[in-house]
Amino acid sequence: MRFFLIVLFLFSSLYSQTIKDISNVIGIRENQLIGYGLIVGLAGTGDKSKFTMQSLQNLLRNSYIKIPAGSINSKNIAAVMVTAELPPFSRQGDKIKVKVSTIGDAKSVDNGELLITQLKGVDGNVYALAQGTIVANENNKTTGFIYDGATVENEIEYDLKNEDSIKLSLLKSSARNADLIETKINEKFKKKLATALDTRTIEVIRPENVSAVKFISMIE
In b/e form, how buried is each residue of 44-58, taking b as 16+ CB within 10 angstroms?
Answer: ebbbebeebbebbbe
pLDDT at 70: 59
pLDDT at 87: 92
pLDDT at 134: 96
Q: What is the DSSP string of 161-201?
A: GG--EEEEEESS--HHHHHHHHHHHHHHHTS--EEE-SSSE
pLDDT at 3: 36
How far apart CA 188 and CA 183 sit, in angstroms, is 9
How far apart CA 10 and CA 218 sit, in angstroms, is 8
Q: What's the burial of 123, exposed, middle or buried (CB within 10 Å: 0-12/13-18/19+)?
A: exposed
pLDDT at 15: 44
pLDDT at 151: 97
Convert the pLDDT of each residue in 15-71 to its tens digit: 446 667 777 778 778 899 999 999 999 988 988 777 777 777 677 767 666 666 555
Segments in the chain below pLDDT 70: 1-19, 57, 61, 63-73, 219-220
